[in-house]
Amino acid sequence: MGWFSRIFAKRQTAPYLPEIQIEPFAYTGGVAVTPDRARTYSAVYRATALISQTIGWLPWSVLRDMRQEWSHPVHYLLHSRPCKEMSAMCFKETLVRDALLWGNGYAEIEFSRNGMPRALWRLLPSRMQIFRSEETLDVFYRYFALDGRVFELPQSRIFHLKGLGDGLIGDSIVGYAAKSIAAGLASEDTNNKLMENQLVPSGIITHPGRLSPEAAERLKTQFAKRYMGRENAGKPILMEEGMKFEAVTIRPEDAQFLESRRFGIEEIARWFGVPPHKLADMERATFSNIEHQSLEFVTDALMPWVKKLEEEADYKLLRGSVDGYYTKIDVRGLLRGDNKSRMEYYKGGVTNGIFSINDCRAWEDLPPVEGGDEHFVQAQMIPISAAAQSQGMNETQEGENGPEN
């Protein structure tokens, strides 16, 4: 599509509705696994929400010569409002979530009369097909609207966020992890049925004699009143007339069931590349390694998606950066660490002339100060070559003057 045709490139696809029937990716153990069904599994929901929401709140800007271009129309789309229906965070969050669950996130690019992008409209991944023209071999997108209409759009009109796949279309994590997700869903269903149908007493009271129904009911009432509840926790139990109380411990099969649920969380964390402690599994998290795991979450789970978003925006929205413009998602807020480490990082950057004071203040969301754009270096620091040259000059001067008495 040329720039002349973009001038009249109004939005063609009809707005979507949330009501849509999704075919299951797989049936595993009698459980139908679909993206929506997978999200009901707490580990999957948390993993997808964690990645998509974290990327969603990161600022996305258009830059040129390392400076933000606030007046650029694409900057407004990415940083503030892609369309009238979604904020920037909601758009990024939804697009990444679609890519995580379906393997692909789509948005139609609407162009203004001057050929610049003016809106990004999210499209349902369940209604999109990708095909290649037999004549030109170009890739096209076929979108099936809910009203029955079919739209064919070229690559230049579709913002396509792809998961790991063959390069043309991304593969769904849910599709590959269907067995792990089905096992987790079945485990939760089993747990719910056990809680509904199985009696699990906290303990058993035995009496050496035979109690009448009235005496047994009275004993149960008195025992519950004296020893059950938060206010009675820790009280010693006084047993009369040879009675005995035996606490019911967890059965081996129940312990194995709980272990399988914990393993299910680890499996989902492995599929999505998320540290287990991010899914509330703190079994292997320690004070010494949790910070490094959080950094690994940024580099391993987030950065691939961040880079894909930037590259797609550079090519589709900025014409391949031919004018020197490029987009950048700022992840420095995720890498700042604690206050002490952050201040030491800023101090080293400022004293070595790498950062200005206003650079550091901007990263801390503080207003600039007058004279804060200057870069400073320590006066006593000189290049090694200059130090050697100075030493040679001193030795030459001592030779000319002779040894001192």
What is the reported pLDDT for 296? 82
Which of 129, 197, 182 is closest to 160 using CA atoms? 129
Residue 371 parent element (H or E): none
The strand order across the sheet containing 150-154 reads: 128-132, 139-144, 150-154
Q: What does each C-alpha distance from 174 to 91, 105, 142, 198, 271 come to in angstroms?
A: 21, 14, 23, 32, 9
State residue 17's pLDDT score.
Answer: 45
In the block, tokens 């890519």 appear at: 99
Q: Which runs of consecutive H residues, i.e. helices, occur in 106-198?
A: 173-176, 178-197
Q: Residue 254 and residue 191: Cα distance in Å, rounded?
A: 10
- DSSP-assigned beta bridge partners for residue 159: 107
Contacts of residue 11, Cβ cutoff 8 Å, sequence gap at least 6: 108, 110, 119, 121
C-alpha 72: how far from its chain's center?
Answer: 28
pTM over 0.75: no
Which residues have CB under 8 Å from 348's CB, separation 6+? 354
The per-residue pLDDT string of the chain (405 residues; one tens digit each, 9 = 90 and over) reads 555 555 556 666 655 544 334 454 666 666 778 888 888 888 899 999 999 999 999 999 999 888 888 899 999 999 999 999 999 999 999 999 999 999 999 999 999 988 899 999 999 998 998 888 888 888 899 999 888 889 999 999 999 999 998 888 888 888 888 888 888 887 776 666 655 545 455 567 676 777 778 877 877 787 777 666 666 555 666 666 667 766 655 554 444 445 556 667 888 888 998 888 787 766 665 555 666 777 888 888 899 999 999 999 999 999 866 688 999 999 887 776 667 778 888 888 888 888 888 888 887 778 889 988 888 877 766 666 666 676 666 666 655 555 555
Q: What is the dihedral of CA 349, 353, 357, 359, to 10 degrees?
A: -70
Q: What are the phi and psi torsion angles at 113 (to 5°)? A: -65, -25
What is the residue-wise DSSP string for 260-271?
Answer: HHHHHHHHHHHH
C-alpha span between 324 and 289 (Å, rounded): 41
DSSP-derived letter for residue 125 is G
Which residues neighbour 89 within 8 Å (Cβ) at sequence distance 6 or greater? 56, 57
Question: What H or E segment, with its residue span, contains residue 68?
Answer: strand 67-68
DSSP designation for 171: P
Cα–Cα–Cα angle for 113, 119, 132, nearest 5°?
Answer: 90
Closest CA to 297 of 96, 50, 39, 105: 50
Pairwise CA distance, residues 45 & 49, whole Å: 6
Measured at the CA of 101, the angle between CA 171 and CA 259, to 5 degrees, comes to 105
Q: Which residues contact 113 (CB under 8 A, 6 or more apart)?
A: 7, 8
Q: Where are the domains of the chain?
A: 1-199+251-332, 201-247, 336-398
Residue 286: phi, psi to the nearest 5? -125, 165
From 320, 310, 328, select the one nearest 61 (Cα to Cα).
328
Q: How far apart are the first and last CA of the chain?
A: 87
Distance CA 373, CA 364 (A): 15
Burial of 342 (0-12, 13-18, 19+ CB in 10 A): middle
